[in-house]
Structure formats: C-alpha cells, structure tokens
Amino acid sequence: MGVSKEEAAKRIEELRQQIRYHEKKYYVDNDPQISDYEFDCLVKELEQLESLYPDLITPDSPTQRVGEQPVEGFPSVVHSIPMLSLDNCYNQEEFLEFVQRIEKLLPGEKIEFVTELKIDGLGIAIIYRGGHFAQAITRGDGFRGDDVSANVKTIRSLPLSIPLQAEVEVRGEIYLPFSSFEKINQEREAKGESLFANPRNAAAGTIRLLDPREVAQRNLDVFLYYIFVNGQSQESQWQNLQLLKELGFKINPHVRLCGSVKEVIDYYEYWKDRRDDLDYDVDGIVVKVNSTRQQQALGSTAKFPRWAIAYKFPARQATTKIIDIKVQVGRTGALTPVAILEPVQLSGTTISRSTLHNEEEIRRKDIRIGDYVLIERSGDVIPKVVSVMKERRTGQEKPFSFPTRCPVCGSPVFKPEGEVISRCINPSCPARLRESLLHYASRRAMNIEGLGEALVDQLLAQKLVQSIPDLYHLKKEDLVKLERMGPKSAQNLLDQIEASKHQDLARLLYALGIRYVGERTAQTLAEHFQSLEALSKASLEELLALPDIGPKVAESIVFFFQQKENQELIRRLKEAGVRGEAKVTTEPTAQPFVGLTFVLTGELEHYTRDEAREIIERLGGRVTSSVSRKTSVVIVGRNPGSKLQKAKDYNITIWDEEEFLRQAGLEK
C-alpha cells in the first residue's frame, strides 16, 4: 500500500470517525447504515494502515478494543465516589413506606421520580480522561473494585472516546443478552464443560477472563445510568441520562420520568408482566428521586442512598425437594434427566418438574434424590436447578445412577466421544418413535393436521404404527375403532396424510429429524441438491462448501444417510409415494429481502404465519421468533402482541400486511 505517513494519518482519522459513527448506529441506536461487509472493510483498511505506521496507533482506535494480551490478574482500585448498593422492597406496601420516608424528610416539596429497569448484571464504573477511555472498575465491595479495563473495552456499544475533555466517570450495568447466554451454554455443553446457571453468572465469569480476545467473543453489553463530570452529577437523574445519550452512551430505552407515585406503580406493573419480552434479565425496577438537590438533602445511610430503591419483581426462584429423577428419551435418542419435585409456586405457576440437563450436570452439582434445591425460572418454560442445599441433608438422600440402557426399550446407551449427552441407539425405540412421529407431522414439517399427541399414543398402543412409513398404510376401518375417531375424522386424517406425500424436499428433510438440521439448513440442502438421492450421496467436503453448514452438521448428515435403518426408512417412504421433490417455481428470481431479518406478530388476513414465512425465505429473507436489535422489519397483523411495542422501542421498521405484500410483489 503505497501511501505516505501524512496521507495515512489523514485517512486513519477519517476511518476512525466513520467506524465510531457506524458502531454507535449499530450497537447503540439499533439503526445500521451500512452492511456488515462494508463495516468490516472499513476496519480492515484501518488495520492495514496502522500496521504500516504503528506509531499512529492510539489507545482509543477501534482496532484496539481487543488489542491487549492476556493479563496476569486484576489490580484493586479504590472508587473515587463509593458505589453504594440499593435497598430493596418486594411489594407495594414496602414501596409506599419508602415514599413516605422521603416525603417526611422533604415536607411540602414536589417530588419527581425516574424509573429504570433493574438489569440483573454486573455493576461497573468507567473513567474517561481527555475524552478517551482510561479505566473500568467493577463495583467490588462498593469502595474498592478490580481494574477490568482490557475486558470492558471489548464491549462494542461502549465508546472509546467521547466529545468531552473533562474527567468523566460513567456507571452502569454490564449484562449478557439471553441470545448470547444460550449460545455460550450450548458451546460449553458440546465441550462437556459445566453450564452457567444464569446470564448474570455468565457475565461475571466473562468479565474476569484473563484473555480479552475470549471476552470479545462472548458479546457482553452495557447500559449506563449515571455520569459524573469532574466529580459532579447533573441537576437531575433525568439530565444525567440525557447527557449520557448525547455523549454516545447506551442507556436503557425504557427509562421513564414519573410525576407521581401512581405512574411509578403503573411502570412496575407494566414491566412485571412483560419482562420476558426482553433479551436480557431484569429482576425489578429502580426508583430514584429525580432532583440531585433533593438527593443530597436525603443523603445516605451507611449502606444505602435514601433517595433510591430497588422495587423487586416476584421471585423467579423457589426452594423445593426432589422426590425422584426420571430419564426421558427424545426423538434423537437423547436421554434427559428430569427432577420430579414437590409442587411449588414460582412466577405464578405450579412447578413440579425441572430439567437436570445431563449426567455431567448431576455429577457436577452432586444432585441426589431427596435433596432440597433452589430452582429458578428465568425466561424459560422449564425451570432449572440452580444449586443444592447440602446443609439440609439428613443422610437419607440417594445418589442417582444414570442408566446404561434405555429406560423405554432396554437398548444400550451410547455417549459419543466429546459429548455430554447419552443416547439410545435403537431407531425403533417407542419413545424415539413417538417424538419422531409428532415432529414428522408438525406444521413446519409434513403438516399432517390432526396427528397430535393423543392420536399418536393410540396408534402406538394399538401397534397400528411401528415406524413413520406405516402412516401411509393406515386404513379407515382401523382408525374408526380408536377413541374419539369417527368416520369423518378418520377420512380427514387420511386426506391429510395423502396430501403430505406432495410436500417439498426442504420440509421432508426437516421432518426426517436429521440431527442439527433445522428448517433453514433443510432449505439450503434442498436448494443445492434438488433431490434426496443426491443428498444421500454427498461427501463431507461437498457439504462443508455450503453456507451455514459446519463440520458438526455435515458429519451428522453423512452419518444419517450411512445408517441402514435410515436407508430403509427412505426406501419405504418412496414406495409409499413420498417424493420430496425440490420446489419448481416460475416466479421472478429477484430476492428483495436478502439480508433482512423479519419477525411476525398478530394474525394475517391473507396468509398463515407459515405461508408468510415461506414467502419471506423464498425472497431471500430470514424469520426469527423474537425482536432484537438485529431485526430489520416487524410485520404486524390483527391483535399483535408485545413484539409491536418492542419494535417501536427499538425504532425498527414496521409493516402492516398490505405493505408486506407490496414489498413482496404480491399485492392483493
């Protein structure tokens, strides 16, 4: 790259400004202005210029977010202003007592409150000097914390420079989005490592990793809620938040200025019922007196400020006893241990079962039958065991021995090398068959309406179906003998089964239940190979050359087609008339939705959700179930859910059905 140092310095500064701008638009404003590829090109050009002239590298250059080598430890640092904890309240009565104490200390004064979601994360103080990131310190004991600067610099939503030359300290909460948390635990499970109990534990564990490069891969994020400029805050908490926003910091989009106690309670009630709509964990709201003058007048106790309180949501954790441990068998043969619990109320639901994940998890936590345990429900439908209360043991508890044979069919259990999941190897195992039939008939697979759990159980009990192809040999006279199955219902089911023979190849591939092959991967395979026969002969190398297919997925596909029982399954499906042909379309090849991510909410008039999904994917788009910063468009039908409000909060493009059809070229 033939460029003088003077030219390089000028271009480097231009690139840094552009990259900082686009980082803010993407990570803070949720309003990307360029593609990921274009952004990567800017970063790559900056890296090349800086490698030519290393003396032009500055600490706040975007290339230096992960520039540090692994550290040996975290030095302890004293906070310039203590980071006090907040007092808690757990119901409206306790909150009103907090308000009464304030009113008594500020007689006759009008009091405004600022309400913020209480992010369940890791408190952090970040210092800027001369407009540049200088240091990041954990809360610690409130008076002294650890210097974790190298790791905090990796957070992409955090600016490395700000347009303010004074000594600036900002405070906030580092957190791990649910989406990142699930990905980390999946990777840890695949490696046989212990799982993080919740996103907060994962965030705390991540920020203390000694290698910033590893931290950068975990996608931590941060919301800021307080700022000191030369040791002074603004005149109000609301002004603090606005200044943070003006300086390019990320504040939570759901903060609210409340002029009355009723508004605070309404805010609490609103988010108490909607916290699961968020991509991060919140365990309550934080209520602060807005005026800084009033805050100073109220002062603090030895532990807590008198002008703020955490108003906690109902507990997501509860204590109960493990009565027994059962092992369930899924359609892939995976054996999953489940704790049978003494029923307990949690988040308004009676909980009597909890997943124990796998054998390694039981061993790591030393979970025994008869133990008292702490269970948690954090946005998940199925709760999990957080910890065992070993101090409550009486000696009567029984260690659990994981079965060496399938608890349903008695076949040997096999654990692949490097994995933590044990599996039943019998493809005809009734438990596997039941789940396989339900998956095969599901709406997004072969779409056999009416073939639900109750009917599948009857078909298996009467031995009318002993494999998936048997569905295509069912007779009306056999079906009408089943419970709640009259002649009309029997004929409707047979019609649905007959219609499923004409489903396309992508649906069939998904329906077969090949491990790791979801709907999107099935679509990729169908588009490339065009037939089941061609895919069955594909080599590992050919599969790895396809987009979105890694070694684990490719190996699973090759393994599936090598198994004699699967070859027999496919042969019998073909004999029954299931062709699984690739879609042939005469529609235009233009794909206006390439690169866009969609979310559907509400009821559409002209299409079902699945039909709309197929249209979007055919036109190059992608459909996800939840709204996030990366969502491009939310399509709204009648009676939309909370996803609509979330889209508005994130300033995401919203289309009604008419606009969706217009953009897709399908105007009705």
Q: Which residues are catalytic?
A: 118
Measured in degrees and rounded to the nearest 5, phi and psi for residue 132 equal: -125, 145
Q: Strands, E, within 231-334: which ranges?
A: 256-258, 282-289, 308-312, 317-329
Residue whose pair of structure tokens reads 């006090």 in the numeric block? 84
Rounded to 5°, the CA angle 574-580-584 comes to 140
> Checking DSSP bridges between strand 597-601 and strand 633-636, what pairing results, if any?
parallel
In angstroms, the CA 214 to CA 234 distance is: 37
Element holding 149 (H helix, E strand):
helix 149-152
Please classify residue 525 by burial: count the beta carbons closer than 10 Å to its beta carbon, then call 0-12 exposed, 13-18 middle and 19+ buried. Answer: buried
In angstroms, the CA 282 to CA 118 distance is: 5
Query: What is the DSSP-derived secondary structure letter of residue 191?
Result: T
Q: Sign of dihedral through CA atoms 608, 609, 614, 616?
A: positive
Per the CB < 8 A criterion, the answer to whether 598 and 632 are in contact is yes
Measured in degrees and rounded to the nearest 5, phi and psi for residue 401 equal: -100, 120
In angstroms, the CA 387 to CA 188 distance is: 18
The per-residue b/e assignment along 107-128, b for 16 or more CB within 10 angstroms, e otherwise, is: eeeebbbbbbbbbbbbbbbbbb
Per the CB < 8 A criterion, the answer to whether 203 and 197 are in contact is no
| Residue-by-residue DSSP string for 417-465 | TT-S--EE--TT-HHHHHHHHHHHHSTTTT--TT--HHHHHHHHHTTS-
Per the CB < 8 A criterion, the answer to whether 506 and 522 are in contact is yes
Element holding 354 (H helix, E strand):
strand 349-355
Half-sphere exposure of 4 (CA within 13 A, CB side): 3
Residue whose pair of structure tokens reads 């990366």 in the numeric block? 630
Residue whose pair of structure tokens reads 């069919």 in the numeric block? 409
Per the CB < 8 A criterion, the answer to whether 654 and 634 are in contact is yes
| Residue-by-residue DSSP string for 398-414 | EEPPPPSB-TTT-PBEE
Half-sphere exposure of 285 (CA within 13 A, CB side): 27
Residue whose pair of structure tokens reads 């759990």 in the numeric block? 453
Q: Which of 29, 20, 19, 21 is nearest to 630 (CA)?
A: 29
Classified as helix, coil or strand, 197 is coil
Distance in Å from the first CA to the final CA of the chain: 55
Q: What six digits make up the tokens of 85?
A: 């904890």
In angstroms, the CA 163 to CA 80 distance is: 22
Classified as helix, coil or strand, 101 is helix
Per the CB < 8 A criterion, the answer to whether 155 and 174 are in contact is yes
Q: Which of 375, 373, 374, 369 is nearest to 396 (CA)?
A: 369
Rounded to 5°, the CA angle 521-525-531 comes to 145
